[in-house]
Amino acid sequence: MSPTYRQPGVVLTDHRFTVPLDHDDPEGERIELYAREAVAGDKAGEDLPWLLYLQGGPGFGANRFSGKQAWLGRALEEYRVLLLDQRGTGASTPASRQTLPLRGGPAAQADYLAHFRADAIVRDCEAIRPRLTGGAPWTVLGQSFGGFCTVRYLSTAPEGLSAALITGGLPSLNAHADDVYRAAYPRIERKVAAHYDRYPQDVERARRIAEHLLAHEPVVLPGGYRLTVEAFQSLGILLGGSEGSHRLHYLLEDAFVTTPEGPALSDAFLEEAQAQLSYAGHPLYALMHELIYTRQGRPTAWSAERVRAEFPQFDAAKALAGDGPVLFTGESVHPWMFESDPALRPLRETADLLAARADWAPLYDRERLAANEVPVAAAVYHEDMYVDTAHALETARAIRGLRTWVTDEFEHDGLRAGGPRVLDRLLALVRDEV
């Protein structure tokens, strides 16, 4: 019997399902999925439609809410919500440096992880849907990578959906990872420029930290992370969130303390940097991130790292040799991360094998999307640091009947920051109420 418990205004139920690792081999190995059902306390006994939430990532478990936080309260007004920990994440069968050696060596680990893309996630959803809904279709809410999964859902199993809501997650249907990052680096540069316009004092602070790291690297953080100048620059991932610029500013302002040996990076700065940079809690993100941009017959081949070389303004040493600002980077994964991060070091060869792999099946079906009959609405965040607006709008035009809400009111985390308003708007769009 599934455990049921309460939070303020919400009744929660834990669900565990077993599904095939490879859905094309249903009699083969099985893995476990965890999902948390949420329903409003005063509606717990009602026969409500289901809303499936697909978290961003890849590699993150579903949000752990307390009560009716963010968008959940709005959803619980009319839905029974399923918060799914996608395969390999959260309380589902984990995939990490601790568990992957159970598979064997790096080649076996890479073969195992090849079953952790959006195609398998959607088949997981279709495997568990009849057990919860009795076969009725459900509404899906996809945030970021969850939106990528939703487009896959529309491509392969639209009969399972009564409506599709996407926030910051319309993927390009044909771009390779190289195309994604060539569009991303100029966008990231604009985000950094906006940050420095808001906090001009951070220009000198970032230069000073980068100079210190180049002179002393690697600085080893309390948990063993090796802080290099490239790792420091990757703190720019914060700039994609609604509060990220402010958080980055506060991190930089107290970076140094005076010690008997002279200026040093403070323990407080190093501790916060490690919390931001470590992949210990979400190693699948590092392993799988570029694979969400695969194209059949082409490896990703560490795309973000290769394409970065085309943008020399991101070279911190060159910036310090002149008078230019040190540029932060954004949502990208690089080979050096598998040397810097103790949570990733044992997985470096596995990551290399995944980056070299070229036998990926296509994720999206243009013909089925062009004939789509599922009501779909998507929030497209103008100048989203993580998802290119032009790519998103091109895809929106390719999905029959999709309605977009293009806004610069929110950043990529709009569903969290403006949750009830964002969800309300998307529901109104799919219902033709606006």
User: Active-site positions?
Assistant: 144, 359, 412
- Asked if residues 118 and 152 have their Cβ atoms less than 8 Å apart, the reply is yes
Element (H, E) at 109: helix 106-113
Other CB atoms within 10 A of residue 56 CB? 25
SS3 letters across 210-223 = HHHHHHHCCEECCC
Structure token pair of residue 334: 């690089």
Q: Which two tokens stand for residue 325?
A: 């600002």
Strands 262-265 and 256-259: antiparallel
How far is Cα 274 from Cα 277, in angstroms, rounded to an integer?
5
Angstrom distances, CA of residue 249 to CA of 178, 252, 317, 328: 30, 5, 22, 12
**b or e along 320-339 (b: 16 or more beta carbons within 10 Å of the residue's beta carbon)?**
beeeebbbbbbbbbbeebbe
Residue 180, judged by CB atoms within 10 A of its CB (0-12, 13-18, 19+), counts as buried
